[in-house]
Structure formats: structure tokens, C-alpha cells
Structure 1
């Protein structure tokens, strides 16, 4: 059995943490400074993680490779499984022309491109995050913005930044459910605190988006609809997380945000031509002025309505229990790891949720959508294969980075970094969201970051006399801000808008906003740990 060491380098926690961070630093430097392609940067980071695990932490090479294999499988299933199937549905709507109908429907909600960005990237993106998550909202929102005439880089940046506030409750609440599971805290204790942190981001992000689209003029002219959208989204997300259901928080918030946005007087009016010329610098589709029949509009919305219906049915206790029966749990081969205290880690076993996985539910929704859209079975299969081919580099990136994350986790590198952060004592409340941000930056998944660091946050909180629920929630809330800089999300955004190979350019554009919003979240958590904002907690 391999027992994870916490201080393998010169018996120093600080030096060990510095060495443990090398894989992540490698990936970010290669992406941002060297401008290496994301899949190559991910593979390089994986190589560094394996070398650090074997040479620095003394992990047997066979176990290190087994850990990498487990991470790669997790990257394929369920993460890429849900992305591929979500984008498959999108490809079918494109093939049949119904995506153009949907795009025209959204553009008809408002003629102002700044409001269109809010409707598509923030509201519709949040709905996609609620139902699918794992990259699908960024890909689909970015494609729709490009079709409306946004330049590819601007569309990708807007889609990435918008994919923040809904992430903690995305994929039917998977991140917070996972957080509750790994920490042993009740879901109805953790979800309400997250629901008193991320809604504050929802107040800021719409304003930031109109600034990204049109600078100070965008803020000056569209602050009212942006603020209304953020307020409605935040209010419903807060209410659902605290009093209804964490799984439904983003669905209600997305719909409320869109309704409030369009209800603001003037939001539907066209922007001045100089504004449109400055914002819509890409090629605008010539068919945006076509009037579609009501039947075509219904069919265009049908795939997303079917996703809502399938996921809603899957949450019914009898159906949920039936789907769970197909989950297979087994001991992962060639892996026998214990934590620093000698207790076997959860990674020694692996669960394969064959039917309960979100990707399987999206696949079912896609199968139901195909006849509605008029797609033959053979054509649907070809489109699925084409989706996999289109995402092949993103697949390599995601599997490499998830393999990296699992090697860091199972070798003890992640635990070293976590204990180093926890040693901050009184500063732990400030650094707690940073740990979640770090986890999502590596894995691209708030769910994975919660699984990686959730239990550690609770342990550190108890050692420091802080609220375990607060720091566990901070891990998830801080993590959502690392989503926009995660290599796989950058790769997905680039693939969606035809910017393959320019992940480094996107990273440099979004990194300042990621760090700035992270600072805001850190200050919120610090305030909630004291009397300043402590009244916000349940």
C-alpha cells in the first residue's frame, strides 16, 4: 500500500507545496506564455505530475500510471460523455436548420447586441449549465453569438465569463451534491450557503458582460437591463437553493433572468447603428430577418424542452432509484493508496453510472429529439460520430488534464497544497475560495474540485475554528471562477468558434477577470466569517 506523504521535500510543507504545484504551473505557463496547444500543454503537465508523483512523492510508477488511467476514464465518462451528446443535439439542430430558427428567435427578443449577449451567454448559457454543464454552455453560446455577428474571440470570451454564477448548481446540482457527499455535511446545510455566495456573482457578471461587449458605453446604456437580469437570477437562485431544491436552482434562475431582462423598458429596442457596428464586427448571418412559422419555432425549442423533461423525470425518486441500479462500482486495478492518516482513499474504487450519468440522459433526449427535428436514425449516428471527430483535440486535452488531476490527488500532491493553504490559520477564510479556484483550474469541473478539496476544507475549518459549512461552500463558490481559465474549457471554446490553437490568447483575455472576481469572492467569504457579513448565513 502506498501512503501519501504530506511533506516529502526536505520535510517542509512549503517546499513540498511548491513542488506539488509544478504540474498546474506547467500547464498554465505553456498555455499563457509559450502559447502551446492545449492538448500538448495538458500532456506536458501530466508528464510533470507523473514525474513529481514518482520521484518527489515516492509513488510506485504502476500506481501513478493507474491513477492517470482512472482520471482519463473519468474525463471520458461522464465529463466528455455529456459534452459530446449535448453538442450532438446542437449539430442535429444545425443540420436541419432549426438552430437558425432558434437563433432568430433569440435575436428577435431584442435587437440590441448587448442584450442579446445577456440572453444567450448568461441566461440560455445558465439553462444549459443547469441541464448539462461540463463545457456545453460555453460551446453552444459562443456559436450562437458568432452567428449573430460577434467576432469569434469576443464571443468566446463572453461565453467563458458568463459561465460562472450558475456553475455551482450546474448539471442538476451535481457540484453541491458531490460536496455534501465528500464532506459528510447535509446537502440542505451546504446548498443554502452556496446559495448566499454565488448569487452575489450574478449581480456583477451581467454588468461585466455588457462591458466586455461594448465597454463603458455598454455599461452606461444597458446597465438597467443587465442589473434587472442579475437581480432576478440572483433572487431565484437564492430562493431555490435555500427553500426549494438545489437541483432546480439554475433552471429557475435562468428563466427568471431572461424574463426580467426582456421586461425592462427599452431592452427590445435596437441599439444605435454605431453601437452595432462596433459590437458586431464579425460576419452576421444574412437570414436573421427571416420570419419562421410557429411550428418551426416549437421544433427548434423542442430539444431543450426534452432535456428539461428527461432530467426532471430522472429526479423523481422511483426513476432515480431505477437508474442508479445500473451503476457499477468496482476496485480500480493496480491502485492501493492510503491517505496520510493511513485510511484507504476513495479513489481505490471507481463508480460507473451507466444510466444515471448526465450524458446518458442527454443522449436519450437527443434520441427523442431526432424524429422531432426530422433526422433519420442513420443520419443521427453519423452526426454523433462527426461530433466526436470534431472534438478529438478537446477530448485529448480533457483526458490529459483529468489524468493530471487524479495523479496529483492520489499521489498526495493535492493534499500537500491543501494543507499548506490550511496552515494560513486566520487567513484561511480568504484563501479557501482560492483552493476551489485552483481545483477547477486544473480539472475544469467544480464537481471534481469539490471532490478533490471539499473534505480538506472541512478539516482545515475545524482546526482553525471556522465554520466547516462556510469553507466547504467557499470551495465550490470560488471554484466557479476557475472555470473560465481551465484548459479544457478554453479548448472547447476555441473549437466551437473556429479558433483551435489559440487557447493561450483566450487565457490572457479572461485571466484578469477570473482573478478579479475571485478576489471579490474571497472578500465575501472573509466577511461571512466575521460579524460584517455573518448575518447572511443561515
Structure 2
């Protein structure tokens, strides 16, 4: 078996900087040289393979095995989820229901600043809590384009807004996994998240308005912005503190949407803001029945996702459950029991095919349920939209696949651990840098869940060594990863595919990167301040 090393070059910082080269190359290709996402990913992947083979000494069969796991994971469950989510959205548009959705949003306010708060922040949080995995980014970005936003701005705003909910996506799984892999009590970790992340969440609605219309826009829309912030953050903090992470995004998203609907009945900004070139919508007030029917695909989606998230449903597919035979687990050759981790433990890597209990299957059932309850849809339209979805997302899914191949090779070669270990060597200043590990983890994997699986134990071990609250550093890992989702290649590719900009990911990245780094800097400083307090 091959033994991983976090310091193959004899200098921890040199090894860590070497391990970071593929990330730096990828960013440079997109931001400096403005290459297409797939070209940038291919170059970065070539650098990663070379480093794994000759820098970290990883055997070629293990490199191939790690890459295979990346390809399989990209296909299932990630591509499956994304295709199903966008297919659901496209069928809603094809059915004509989206015209009613657009009218119901315009009734709240024709002002696009209010629409952004309603769609990307409130409704996006609701979708994040129900599905996660890029679903809110894809759907909200597409909605904004339909409402008259330019594609790049629609994608960027949806990515930034997702930072308000991304840490608790898919029924709180990132926090639940962080607690599970570290042994920290879930409520203790949830309360640490409130103390660490809530100040940033309070600021995001204000940031969204400033991005759109500057300080003038903030002065003109402060009643709506303050209302959304108080309701959203109040519900989010309360649920986290007393109940845990499972219902955080669903409750705060629903509450913020309801608050904006009520506020829209008694207050509107004096000046209606519209993006340059965006048509002013004709205000048509759909009936309550029409509105409920139009939004029904998303209600149906939420219902299926909630059922799929219930412990009793998950128990059906557990190792001793009645449907355990439907879960196919495939060990990855040349990785499982072929690599010894830096800690001395043999590595286990497997790919699971879960055709029934996959999140994508829940979305697929929502598509069919919406189809059978919508007279305007025919089987021909349904399959046409599926073909169009696959065609339009092909480039984005190819980019996601390349990035996951790169990430898996980085992880199993020891490169990711090398970067994390180097950052732990700074001693008492480590809390200042702890969120950066989470940021790197999500940039590599595109998932706050995977990030916590990889690096949360490292954060706990360092916390014990420094005498810092372990829950704080795991929360920092989660929060830092949450800011990394804004520019993770997977998120960028999803956003690009949703707004029709596949191949132009660099434009979205350039528009988003400063916001990601700014939020990361805020979390770093605030983590360090909290680490100085007694616990």
C-alpha cells in the first residue's frame, strides 16, 4: 500500500504551496487569461496529475482510481440533481406558469431591488433548505434572467445571495455532518454557527441592494431590507439555537417571503428601480388560485424533498433496512485499501448508486407530479425540455466533472491535507486562518458537506492543541466553506448553465470573486475575535 505524506518535499510550507498550484493555475486561467472554464479546468487538472505523480509520489493506478471516483460522483448524484432541477424549472416555463409566477412577484413590487430580496435571498434560502446541491443557484439565476436581469449579474447575485443559506443546505446536512465526524453535539455546533455566521447573514440583504443600486438604493429600500434581515436572521438564529439545523433555511426563507408579501401591501419605494434595458412589467394581478397553481412545482418539490429527508424514509435504505438491496456500493480500485492516509489509517473510497432514495429522484417525481397536474403540458413538451436541459447543461456538467476529478486526486494524494496542515502550523493565529481551510475545501469539492468531512476533524485536533473551543473552529470551517461556494467552480458552472453562459464562466467568476474574498475576510477576523473570548 502507498503511504500518503503531507510533506513530501521536506518543507511543510513548500509542500502546501505546491499542493495549491492547481487552484492558483485555475484561478489565473479564468481571471487573468480569461480562458473558458473547460480549458482552464483541463490545464489545472494536468498540473494536478503531474503534482500527484511526481510531487507527492502517488502511484498512477491510484491517480486513475481517484479520478474515476470524481467522474462517477459528477454523474451521480450531482449531474442527476442539477439536470432534474433545471428540467423542473423549464417545464414550469414551457407550461406558461412562469408568466403567473412573474406577475405574482411583480405584484409584490415591480422594483428589481425588492425582487432580488424575494427571489435570491428568501426563495433561494427556501430552495437551499429543501434541495441544496446548486438547485437554488440554478433556479434563482434563471428566474432573474426572465425578469430582465443581465445573465452575468443574475448569476453573480444568485451566488452571493446563496451565502445567506448555503451553510445549512439540504435539511442542515453540512452542520449535521460536521457534528457527526467530530463528535460535537449538534446543538452546540448550531449555536456556534449563530455566533459566528449570523453577523454576516444580517449584512447580505444590504449587500445585495448595494450591488444593484449603490447607497442610494439602500436609502430608498431600507424598510424592505431591514424587514427581510430581521425576519430571516431572527428565524434562522432562533431555529438554530433551540432546534438545530434541519429546518433553518426552510423556516427563514418562508418567513422572509411572507414578510415581503405583507410589506408590499402597505409600502413601496417611491422610485421604481429597473436594470438598464429591462422592460417594465405590466402589473397583472393573478388570482390566488392561479398563483398557487403556478408555484405548485416548487411546493411539490419541497414536499418530495422533505419526505426523502425523513429519518423513517432514510431508514428504509439503511444497511438493515427493507430496501437496502437497492443501494449499490462500489469500492474504488487502487484507492480503497491501496492507500494509507497521513494518519496511518487505510483509505476507504466507494461510489454509491442510489436510484430510489437519491435527491434527484425526488426532483424527478416532482417533475412528473407537476406534469400530470398541468393541462398545458404534453409528453412531447416534457421530453423536448429534457433534451434541451441536457444539451444546454452539457458544458457545465463537463466542467463539474473535471473539477471533481481534480479534487479527488488532490484529496487522495495528500495535497488537500498538506494545505490544511500547513495552516495549522501558525499556532495561536490559527483561528484567523481556520475559515480559509473551509474556503479551500469547498473550492476543491464544491460542497460544504464534503469540506466538513475532510477538514472538520483537523479543526478539532488543532482547537484542542490551542485551547480554543472546537465547536467554534468547526463552525469556522463551515462558514468559510459557505463563502467559498460563491466562486467554487461547481457553483459557477451551475450558474453559467442556468443563464446560458456555458463557456463564459470566467465572466461570472470575475464578477463574484471580490464578494467571496470579502465575506471570507469578515469571517476570518470575526473567528479570531471570538477565539479570544473564554469558552
The answer to whether the superposition gives a TM-score over 0.5 is yes
Using the alignment, how far apart are the partners of 1:528 and 1:243 within structure 2?
Answer: 21
Is the counterpart of residue 361 in structure 1 residue 355 in structure 2?
no
Match of 2:508 in 1: 506
| Pairwise CA distance, 1:24 | 0.8
Q: Deviations over 1:127-148 (max 9, x none)?
A: 1111122222122212222222
| Pairwise CA distance, 1:355 | 2.8
Is the counterpart of residue 301 in structure 1 residue 295 in structure 2?
yes
Report if the CA contact (8 A) 2:149-2:278 is conserved: yes
Using the alignment, how far apart are the partners of 2:278 and 2:220 within structure 1?
Answer: 24
SS where residue 88 of structure 1 aligns? helix
Structure 1 unaligned spans of 5+: none
- Cα distance, 1:108–1:187 mapped onto 2, change above 3 Å: same
Q: Deviations over 1:127-173 (max 9, x none)?
A: 11111222221222122222222222222221111010100111122
- Cα distance, 1:29–1:271 mapped onto 2, change above 3 Å: farther
When structure 1 is superposed on structure 2, of 461-470 and 26-35 the one drifting more is 461-470
Report if the CA contact (8 A) 2:396-2:502 is conserved: no
SS where residue 351 of structure 1 aligns? strand
Match of 2:93 in 1: 94
Report if the CA contact (8 A) 2:221-2:269 is conserved: no
Is the counterpart of residue 370 in structure 1 residue 393 in structure 2?
no
SS where residue 329 of structure 1 aligns? strand
Residue in structure 2 matching 1:284, options 276, 279, 285: 279
| Pairwise CA distance, 1:224 | 3.0
Using the alignment, how far apart are the partners of 2:460 and 2:355 within structure 1?
Answer: 31
- Cα distance, 1:196–1:360 mapped onto 2, change above 3 Å: farther
Using the alignment, how far apart are the partners of 1:262 and 1:293 within structure 2?
Answer: 15
When structure 1 is superposed on structure 2, of 208-217 and 195-204 the one drifting more is 195-204
Report if the CA contact (8 A) 1:176-1:191 is conserved: yes
When structure 1 is superposed on structure 2, of 380-389 and 415-424 the one drifting more is 380-389
Match of 2:332 in 1: 332
Q: Calculate the aligned-residue CA RMSD, in Å.
A: 2.0
Q: Deviations over 1:279-308 (max 9, x none)?
A: 42144376x434434433222111111122
Structure 2 unaligned spans of 5+: 319-323
Match of 2:321 in 1: none
If the length of structure 1 is used for normalisation, what is the TM-score? 0.93
Using the alignment, how far apart are the partners of 2:339 and 2:183 within structure 1?
Answer: 21
Using the alignment, how far apart are the partners of 2:230 and 2:476 within structure 1?
Answer: 21
Q: Deviations over 1:322-343 (max 9, x none)?
A: 1443333342122221111320
Match of 1:39 in 2: 38
When structure 1 is superposed on structure 2, of 389-398 and 355-364 the one drifting more is 355-364
SS where residue 350 of structure 1 aligns? strand
Match of 2:471 in 1: 469
Residue in structure 1 matching 2:311, options 296, 312, 317: 317
| Pairwise CA distance, 1:270 | 5.2
Alignment coverage as a number of residue pairs = 526
Match of 1:158 in 2: 157
When structure 1 is superposed on structure 2, of 431-440 and 337-346 the one drifting more is 337-346
Using the alignment, how far apart are the partners of 1:227 and 1:271 within structure 2?
Answer: 17
| Pairwise CA distance, 1:266 | 8.1
| Pairwise CA distance, 1:237 | 1.2
If the length of structure 2 is used for normalisation, what is the TM-score? 0.93
| Pairwise CA distance, 1:454 | 1.7
Using the alignment, how far apart are the partners of 2:179 and 2:383 within structure 1?
Answer: 38
Residue in structure 2 matching 1:525, options 524, 527, 532: 527
| Pairwise CA distance, 1:378 | 5.0
Using the alignment, how far apart are the partners of 2:137 and 2:524 within structure 1?
Answer: 25
SS where residue 353 of structure 2 aligns? strand
| Pairwise CA distance, 1:518 | 1.0
Counterparts of 1:191-270 in structure 2 under 5 Å?
191-264=190-263, 268-269=267-268
Counterparts of 1:385-464 in structure 2 under 5 Å?
385-464=387-466
SS where residue 158 of structure 1 aligns? helix
Report if the CA contact (8 A) 2:38-2:503 is conserved: no
| Pairwise CA distance, 1:492 | 2.2
Q: Deviations over 1:176-210 (max 9, x none)?
A: 22222333333333233223333222200000000
